[in-house]
Chains A and B, each alone.
Chain A
Amino acid sequence: MPEIKTYREALREAIIHELDRDESVVLIGEDIGVYGGTQLITVDLLEQYGAKRVIDTPICEGGFTGAAIGMAMMGMRPIVEMMTMNFSFLAVDQIIQNAAKVRYFSGGQVKVPLVIRGPNGGGVQLSAQHTHSLESFYGHFPGLKVVAPASPNDAKGMMLTAVRDDNCVIFLEAGALYGTKGEVDEDNPIPFGKARIARDGGDITLISYGRQVALCLQAADTLAADGIDAEVIDLRSLRPLDEDAIVKSVEKTHRAVAVQEQWRWFGVASEVAAIIQDRAFDCLDAPVERVSGAEVPAPYARNLELAAFPDEQQVIEAARRVLYREEK
């Protein structure tokens, strides 16, 4: 029976499930053991599983991520915690140059079953250096899988899938959603590359992932009051990306808005727009709109931060433009 849990609890459950299921699974990262994990996802796990499986490291993202890649090549299944995904920049050489490519340049001799997880995106006033949405950055590289669950159930189900995957999975948690609640299944791995229809609708498709899914759902409710029936697609996984779900929905609605927290240039929304014009051009009744974050480093002040990320009004306005409705 599904139970109501937070996004945080769901992640923790999935990790415990995998630690119990498979001894090759280990956790590695900064302050995940004795300290308990800054996101409280690994709290008490050191006591339960011991220091060989819950590996506290010094502050060295490149070093411990590289070591985890080495462990994975040897057949272990490490789950790397980035205290925040922003720190993964320090490990990018390891992630891109080794984890993503070693299978290819070895002619298929090795694999890297590895999860790199941590909070992604902003919304909690962490300002410029601690606020990035890294999905299009990591999504750019062949050899990686990139997922961004939005609900507690997806957080758990996709973590189960990530740990069992034989490749390096960049697992982007919506940091602002750790405390949100939802129904969570017992043991239900959710496959990558399958989008979720978060709301059925026939007039327009709002396409999003992560924290912005809730925003799109809110906007859809507001639009509904105005007689506009919006479909909301939660992409869930960015690489692989469920192109078919996007195309199928646009074939039905003929209109689309892609919403992302990250910067507009070279972002996921641009890719979504390109896919639609490529595969559903003849179905379109209006150009695809993109709603994105402001092209600035993330500010600290609450009012500026709110202004830097997409809000409901922007989504509604974009939707109305695509529907050729007057601005309200």
Chain B
Amino acid sequence: MKPAVLWRGGSLVALVAVAAAVPLLNNPLVTNVGVFVLMYVGSAVAWNIFSGFTGYISLGAAVFFGTGVYTTALLTEHLKLNGGAVFATYPLGGLAAAVIAVPFGLIALRVRRHTFVVVTIAFFFIFQLMAYDFSWTGGTLGILGPIVNWDPNTFYNPFYYTALIVAVGSAVLAWAIWGSRFGLQLRAIRDDEDRARGLGVKTMRVKLTAFVISAFPMGILGGLYFFLQGQALPEYAFNPFYDLTLALMSFLGGFGTLSGPIFGALLLEPYLGYAQYQVTNAYVAEVVLGALFLAVIIFLPRGILPTVGEKFTSWRVAWVRRSAGAQAAPAEPAGASPAADAVKTGAAGSGAPGGGSQR
């Protein structure tokens, strides 16, 4: 147990160190993609704190992100902020998102499962339409951000480090919650909400707290996104793709695990960023994304990390047994029908690239 913890902690520290060193490459394109990757790491981890731990799949996360975007945008516009001062408004964006999460959660968390998903989608659309239709949001034209003339080579660095801090902060928060009494209550709700309530978990309060906590980092990142893009537009602030991508990242890496969303975001966002640059093939990229999604769901239904971990363990057990001299190996494939065999090899073949790169 101890070495595993050490190994995990060490690899995490190494990951953060590598991430912190990326801007030193002095390549603005890499840093720019890096900002988005970290933004999605932070968002996916925050999303997972509520949805992953409780099993309530929320497709309304963009409400919090968009609230952050517009809070920072409006503050910047009305207080005429510029440069570094804009960064000071990010926590307020997070706070606004957390405040919005209270009524949102009080209504949406009354229902479960499918209905919850639908209610979050409804909330999402209400917010997007409000951003389009209110006069103080600038409507379809949105709000323009301040123009800064920083050195283009290091332009993205402040954004990068802010996003890194938020991402690491969310991950630490998720880790702290995971092992705590609060985290256990969340996971009890995920396993059986009625029984959890029977055992004395104040389910509504616990769920709402997690919902509000998960909103905060997304609001901060929304503010960051506004300054980075220099513009708040309703279709990008409240973007259905954001909700979907967070869910996909978490499921890809491992839904409801600690490292799953981080891994999923690190894997997926560079691809999405790349696809965005290839505008001519954006639709093909979309189809590939969908196909990838389906492949993950069917072949790695619990996400890459847990499945690969399991495979690795069972493979190691088999290897240990074989080297111990037991002759159980040849008995395995005999019983299966040819059709099942074909399916199996097919599945293994398609699954292999993902598994291989993982190891």
B is a partner of A = no
A residues bordering B, Cβ < 8 Å?
none
B residues bordering A, Cβ < 8 Å?
none
